[in-house]
Amino acid sequence: MTIIPFFSERLGNINALRATISVDKRCPVDRELAVKDNSLWLGSTKLIDSTVLGIPLDPNLITTTNMDQQPDKNNETILWDIKIGTQQQQVPRLAYDHEPKELLPAKALREFELISCNHCSCPLVRAQDSKAPFRHKDMPSEHWYELVECWICHETKPEEHRARMKPILAKPDVLLVGSTYYLVHSDNLTPDSLVVDRDVASKINWDNGTYTKWITVNCTSCSMPLGEGQYEKYDEEPILRAVKLFKYCVSILPTPTLTPCEMPTFMDFLVCDLVNAAKAHATYRFLIQGRNTGKIYCLIWLFNWDTQIIYNRGFVSPSEPADVYHERAMKVLYLDCSDPISKQTEQHVAAWSVDKTSEHLLYPDAYCVQLISNLQKTTLLLPPSARVMNHPAMRTTMNFSVGFIKRP
C-alpha cells in the first residue's frame, strides 16, 4: 500500500490540529476526509488513530484547503492543508509545565563508582579514591545570580546581599551536579586523565579579566573534549583547580536506573540550555558556537518551545513504512552557517553577533555538527514547500529552515 505523506502540529493555543497531506490530484479530499471514532480517515485509509495519541478530535470542525493554486501538469500529487478542531481537555496544570526534565540529578548518582570518558572509557573520577565518602549536591540554575539580582534590586541595602553572593566553587569529595555538567575538584580527578586543549589555551590572555580561566580540557587517552577546566596561573604555570565534565561527554558507572532509550543525549541537554536561557534572559535567538574553534555553526530562533507533532515519514521517502509518530518537541527556525557560507548568511551572523537580545551557546565542535545534522533530518519530515522560510516580507528569517528538537 502506498503511504500518504502526512505531517501535523497540534496548536494548543487555538485547540486545533493542523496537518498537511500529499495525495493524488484526482482525490476529492474535501469530500472524503472525515473523523470517525476519534480517528482521521481519508476514504478507507486511516491516517491517524487519535485515541492512541490522547488527542480528542472534533468531527464537526474540519476545514480543507488545496495548497496548489497553480497545479503542475507533470506532478501527479498535490498538497492539502487540513485544520481539525480538538476538544478542550481538563489537563492537570503540571502537564503544561514548560520546565525541562531533570537529567541525571544528584539523587540518581548516589551509588556512582566511576565517571569515565564516553568515547574511550578512560577513568576520570573514582569514588573509591576519595579520602572521604562522596557527597552529591544539585546546583542551582546557571542563571541564579541574575535571578537573585532581580529579587533584591528593590531592597533598602542590596549591597549586603551582594556581598554574600559568591561563586559556587568545587570542593574535595563533593560531586556538584549542574543541569548539563558535573563540577569536580581537581583532587578527585584520576591523575593524568585530562589535558588542556593547547589551541584554546594559546588564545587565553591572562592579563585581562579574572585571575582564573575556564579552558577546554580533553581526554588524555582519546583527545576528545570532555569539559572545561578552571585554571589559575601560579609561577607562570596554569594550575588546574576544578573541572566541569559535560554530562553528554562522560559515562557514569554503575549506570543510573534508566533504560537505554531514557538515557539523555546531547540534544536533551541542549533543550535544557535553550529553555533555561530563554526563561532567565527572555531571549529566543541563539548563536551555536564551537568551543574549540570559535566558529558559528548555526543560528537558532526558538519559535515554540513546547509543541506536539504527529507525522509519518512519507515526505522523507515514499518507500518509508506507514508508522505514525507522536512527539513533544521544540519548533525552531535555524540557519546552517557551515561551509560554504553565503553573503546573506554572513549578514545574518553579523547582525545576531552584535544584537544584545541574542545569546551565544558554546559546545564542542563535534556536537555542533551533530546538532545541524539532527535539525536537517527533522526538516525533511515537512513537505518541501514548508521547509524553508523564503517569504520576501520576512527578511529577518529569509532562508531559515524549519526544524524540530525533541523534548525529553
| Dihedral sign from CA coordinates of 392, 397, 401, 405 | negative
What pTM did the predictor assign? 0.88
Buried b (16+ CB within 10 A) or exposed e, 319-346: eeeeebebeebbbbbbbbbeeeeeeebe
Average pLDDT score over the chain: 87
More confident residue, 256 or 219: 219
Q: Name the band, by pLDDT with cuts 50, 70 and 90, for residue 129.
A: confident
Domain locations in the chain? 6-91, 106-253, 264-406
Mean pLDDT confidence for 276-295: 90
Taking the C-alpha atoms of 366, 372, 373 and 376 in order, what is their torsion angle to the nearest 10 degrees?
A: 180
CATH for the stretch 106-253? 2.170.150.20
* Residue 39 · residue 59 · CB < 8 Å: no
Integer Cα distance of 325 and 316 in angstroms: 14
For 251, the grid coordinates are 559515562
Percent of the chain with pLDDT over 70: 88
DSSP bridge pairs for 304 = 331
* Nearest alpha carbon to residue 176 among 101, 263, 245, 277: 245
DSSP alpha helix (H) spans, 72-129: none
pLDDT tens sequence across 182-236: 999 999 999 999 999 999 998 888 888 778 899 999 999 999 999 999 999 887 7
Taking alpha carbons only, the member of 143, 139, 145, 142 closest to residue 175 is 139
Per-residue pLDDT at 151: 60
Cell numbers of 234, please? 601560579
294: amino acid identity, one letter: G
